[in-house]
Amino acid sequence: MAADAILSYLEPILVAHPNLTQLQRLYAAKPVVLAPLEDVSDAVFRRICRALGAEITVTEFVNVEGLLRGCRNARRKIALADDDVLTAIQIYGADPERLAEAARFAEQAEPLFIDINCGCWVPKIAGRGAGAGWLRDPVAMVAMAKMVVESVALPVTVKTRIGLGPESHMPIVDLARRLEDAGVAAITIHCRTANMGHSGSADWSWAMRAREVVKIPVLVNGDVKSAEDAARAIDSTGCAGVMIGRRAIEHPWIFRECSALLREGEAHAPPTDEERIELCKRHLVANVEVRGEPHGVRCTRRHLSGYLSGLRGAAQLRRELNLCDSLDGCLGILDSYRARAAA
Ligand SMILES: Cc1cc2nc3c(=O)[nH]c(=O)nc-3n(C[C@H](O)[C@H](O)[C@H](O)COP(=O)(O)O)c2cc1C
């Protein structure tokens, strides 16, 4: 869905809820959100997901120290194009004052809101007190969130997990209440503990329990792999929307499938072979435009395997693409596959 289409879809909701903040109004529409994904949810991929129906997108997480030091990569990550209006910037760090300062800096890029990462479980991040490291001290996390909220005019949201693990009663419910009191505008809950990483199953019931004790929107995240999952996650938790990560990497059509099911009550047909090939080409071209060769080609590979899924001869096609570092070469491989398939 293009930004115009999203805004016109939202218009009746905005009119019906004139006193809600922009973010609450967006969440009143039960949005389907592209998750922050390191090295994935960049400008190119956000545009692809938006075109396929993602209603809000989030940048990959940005290290506050890199951002404040002027690191080129960090600055690139927060640069938002004109069509990136419904994109939030996610930041991470271990020092409340540096997070607040970085939020003020990121605010100048005019994102939809600032999201604080309190859920990254990777030891080199959580072990240093950033990401899920904040879950070790929920009181400190809330104080940090309050400081960030008070230092910017934009809404501030928090993305976190249900707890560190293996608690039997997760801190997320009490934490959600305290984050709301601190002025946080919305919370996304990845329904796993930090200790679980990406293993095991997400337990959406914790999102429901947290949602029950706050008025601010709660997004449910974790293991939403189809439009049917998205509908179940929203219905079973009463949450304000869903956030989708890994499935979007290989199948960004999930956003239009969610849109069809959640908005129209209809199942969307899966992508055709032609659409799959076209998306491979479009993503390759866009990434090479931004990153040049061979980097642009290489960093598209993680998507291509999923995009090609279900095509006859996909394994051979993937092998050929994996050996090719040039854009023209990849486009040629895809075109000749298409010609062979049509013959
Ligand atoms: C490759 C990859 C990169 C990720 N990068 C981030 C990130 O930058 N910030 C963040 O909050 N979560 C990040 N996550 C976690 C996802 O946003 C999401 O919470 C998690 O994958 C669970 O959702 P899913 O089951 O829909 O994938 C990342 C996950 C993956 C697989």
293 in Cβ contact with 327 (< 8 Å): yes
Amino acid occupying residue 36: P
User: Given this model, what pLDDT does residue 168 score?
Assistant: 86
Which of helix, strand or coil describes residue 21? coil
Residues in the chain predicted with pLDDT less than 70, given as ranges, are 1-20
Q: Which atom of ligand 1 is nearest to the CA of 131?
A: 11
Q: Which of 190, 192, 302 to mutate to test the pocket of ligand 1 (most atoms within 8 A of CB)?
A: 190
Which of helix, strand or coil describes residue 90? strand
Helix H or strand E encompassing 114: strand 114-118
Angle, helix 172-181 to helix 138-151, in steps of 10 degrees: 30
Residue with the smallest CA separation from ligand 1 atom 22 is 222
Show the ligand 1 pocket: residues with CB < 6 angstroms: 35-38, 40, 60-61, 90, 117, 119-120, 159, 190, 221-224, 244-247
337 Cα–ligand 1 center, Å: 33
Residues 330, 286: Cα–Cα separation, whole Å:
13
79 in Cβ contact with 109 (< 8 Å): yes
221 Cα–ligand 1 center, Å: 9
194 Cα–ligand 1 center, Å: 12
CA nearest neighbour of 297 among 284, 279, 282: 284
Residue with the smallest CA separation from ligand 1 atom 14 is 37
Residues 8, 263: Cα–Cα separation, whole Å:
14
Q: Which of 246, 301, 303 to mutate to test the pocket of ligand 1 (most atoms within 8 A of CB)?
A: 246
User: Phi/psi at 133 (nearest 5 deg)?
Assistant: -55, -30
pLDDT in tens, 287-330: 999 999 999 999 999 999 999 999 999 999 999 999 999 999 99
263 Cα–ligand 1 center, Å: 25
Q: Cα dihedral angle (223, 226, 230, 235), rounded to 10 degrees?
A: -100
User: Given this model, what pLDDT does residue 13 score?
Assistant: 54
Residues 91, 62: Cα–Cα separation, whole Å:
5
Domain range 3-264, its CATH number among 3.90.110.10, 3.20.20.70, 3.40.50.720, 3.20.20.80: 3.20.20.70
123 Cα–ligand 1 center, Å: 15
124 Cα–ligand 1 center, Å: 16
CA distances from 289 to 74, 148, 183, 297, 307 (A): 19, 35, 40, 10, 20
Residue with the smallest CA separation from ligand 1 atom 13 is 37
Structure tokens at 75: 């600055």
Instruction: List Cβ neighbours of 225 (8 Å cut-off, separation of 6 or more).
Output: 246, 247, 254
**Exposure string for 234-271, b = 16+ CB within 10 A, e = fewer:** beebebbbbbbbbbbbbbbbbbbbbbbbbeeeeebeeb
Q: Which CATH superfamily is domain 273-342 in?
A: Putative flavin oxidoreducatase; domain 2 (1.10.1200.80)
User: Given this model, what pLDDT does residue 72 score?
Assistant: 96
155 in Cβ contact with 193 (< 8 Å): no
Report CA 133 to chain centroid distance, whole Å: 20
Instruction: List Cβ neighbours of 323 (8 Å cut-off, separation of 6 or more).
Output: none
Residues 46, 94: Cα–Cα separation, whole Å:
27
User: Given this model, what pLDDT does residue 2 score?
Assistant: 54
Residue with the smallest CA separation from ligand 1 atom 23 is 222
Catalytic annotation on 280? no
Q: Which of 32, 34, 38 to mutate to test the pocket of ligand 1 (most atoms within 8 A of CB)?
A: 38
Residue with the smallest CA separation from ligand 1 atom 30 is 37
The full set of domain ranges for the chain reads 3-264, 273-342
Residues 174, 181: Cα–Cα separation, whole Å:
11
Which one is catalytic: 49, 120, 258, 280? 120
Cβ burial, residue 233 (10 Å; 0-12/13-18/19+): buried
Residue with the smallest CA separation from ligand 1 atom 18 is 245
User: Given this model, what pLDDT does residue 17 score?
Assistant: 47
